[in-house]
Amino acid sequence: MPLKLFECDTVIPERKRHVYIKQPGEDTSMFLPSANIDTIPGSLSERGCSYCGAKLVIGGVLKDTIQLIHGPVGCAYNTWHTKRYPSDKDNYQLKYVCSTDVKEKNVVFGAEKLLKKNILEAFAAFPDYKRMIIYTTCATALIGDDPKAVAKEVEKELGDVDIFCSQCAGFAGVSQSKGHHVFNIDWMDEKVGTFEPEIHSDYTVNMIGDYNIQGDSVVLSDYFHRMGIQVVAHFTGNETYDALRSMHRAQLNVVNCARSAGYIANELKKKYGIPRLDVDTWGFNYVAESLRKVGTFFGLEDKAEQVIAEDYAKWEPKLKWYKERLEGKKVCIWTGGPRLWHWTKALEDDLGVEVVAMASKFGHQEDFEKVIARGNIGTIYIDDGNELEFFEVLKEKKVDLIFTGPRVGELVKKLHIPYINGHAYHNGPYMGFEGWVNCARDMYNGINSPIWKLAGKDIRKGE
């Protein structure tokens, strides 16, 4: 019985379709968890909303773009500054977000005038910023506001600004995944091909699905730079609005997060014939393989080998130190989707740990095909998990560390189990050779912190 019903789910037996335990000899044509479908009523989902997927994950990363949230003020706050993606433009995108602060009277009488006023105020407040993304939210989608029409009016009036409207309300899909999808497709349809970049290398790529979490993009850019490759656009880490309009000029799409950005890679292939090369950017062996593939595509094999040799010499001894101390530890990966399959083998091969359970908030069945192919026999694979299920996993597996977000992280901390922020990292970057050592260090520090013993003491008893 590889599809598993947790005890806590007895009253919601539909959850059985979302949980799988891999058995010897099985493959994903035999069993594949349901995913990217409605949350089962009765299950307290950890998912985010579709607007959040568009804003927090993709659009909000841009470093030179005013972020204007057309909705109640909470929609702005809850998708602002909670993900740590810095930029080399004084972290503008982490410091500022704008909201139209829609109220009940706007719901009754319409909010387009309010939107226009806010757009003009925002451009006036940030006179050096000429690019803007407007996000529809649930309230303004329901009342039928037309932000595109308003944006066109403003573009005409101001003359030197460009505005993109992300029309993906929170209720548009079953999770944040829908927001990734809508943003990708609309950006492709409306903005790619509208700006011509300056090309200064014979070798050009788009780095797709990397959001500069604590500097990831900087690490990857450095590798490409050392290989003589120009990154036309990072989708969207540490990137500008106009660079994303230039994506049609790259020769190769290098895709990391296929879940959040595979769509635009597919469309670029279909419309412009730019091929898609999927890579893993976490883990020593994977990163080396990825650089070799990109190098081979361009005939730059020697350059790739040089980068790999230099970075192995610098970072591998440090990784080995941590591997000796982490070997045999049991970990869980409870994150969004792709990090399950990006990380499971990388953690096991490079650090000697055992990944015993993986849960995805918004992954599709494609993500489960990937992770089940890479994951262990006996490992538990969960779609859209809830807290009671997590408790059962912890009781059964006795884990040493969990990669997850702050919400579930706070839960497991109360059980005195260390967690590493699997979304925004503890002390990243985690990508690349250097990054994987950072990840190993955070794991080591988490597991060996004295806080777990201290937290178990009851000071009222004078222990």
Partner 1 sequence: MQDKIEQLFLYFQERCLWQFHSRSWDREDNINGITDDVIKLLTGKRVEMETPEDKCHYADSRILVDDLKKRFPWILELKDSERSAVVEGARDKLMAVVVTNSKNAELNNENY
* Residues binding partner 1 (CB under 8 A): 27-29, 31-32, 36, 185, 251-252, 258, 262-263, 266-267, 269-270, 273-280, 289, 292-294, 296-297, 345, 364-366, 369-370, 373-374
Closest separation between CB of residue 95 and partner 1, Å?
Answer: 34
Query: Among residues 225 and 269, whose Cβ is nearest to partner 1?
Result: 269
Q: What CA–CA distance (Å, rounded) separates 150 from 156?
A: 10
Query: Among residues 70 and 361, whose Cβ is nearest to partner 1?
Result: 361
Q: Both ends of the chain: CA-CA distance in Å?
A: 46
Closest separation between CB of residue 296 and partner 1, Å?
Answer: 4
| Sign of the torsion formed by the C-alpha atoms of 33, 419, 408 and 183 | negative
Residue 4 carries which side chain, given as an amino acid letter? K
Q: What CA–CA distance (Å, rounded) separates 179 from 290?
A: 28
Query: Among residues 305 and 392, whose Cβ is nearest to partner 1?
Result: 305
Task: Mark residue 345 as left, alpha or beta (left: phi above 0; alpha: psi -120 to 50; beta: remaining).
Answer: alpha
Query: Among residues 248 and 426, whose Cβ is nearest to partner 1?
Result: 248
Query: Among residues 307 and 408, whose Cβ is nearest to partner 1?
Result: 307
Closest separation between CB of residue 172 and partner 1, Å?
Answer: 16
H/E element, 2: none
Closest separation between CB of residue 289 and partner 1, Å?
Answer: 6
| The pairing of beta strand 252-255 with beta strand 276-278 | parallel
Other Cβ atoms less than 10 A from the Cβ of 323: the count is 17
Query: Among residues 82 and 266, whose Cβ is nearest to partner 1?
Result: 266
Query: Among residues 122 and 188, whose Cβ is nearest to partner 1?
Result: 188
Closest separation between CB of residue 373 and partner 1, Å?
Answer: 4
Q: What CA–CA distance (Å, rounded) separates 332 from 22?
A: 15
Closest separation between CB of residue 178 and partner 1, Å?
Answer: 13
The side-by-side arrangement of strands in the sheet containing 419-421 is 19-21, 380-383, 354-360, 330-335, 401-404, 419-421
Closest separation between CB of residue 17 and partner 1, Å?
Answer: 11
Contact 409, 385 (CB under 8 A): no
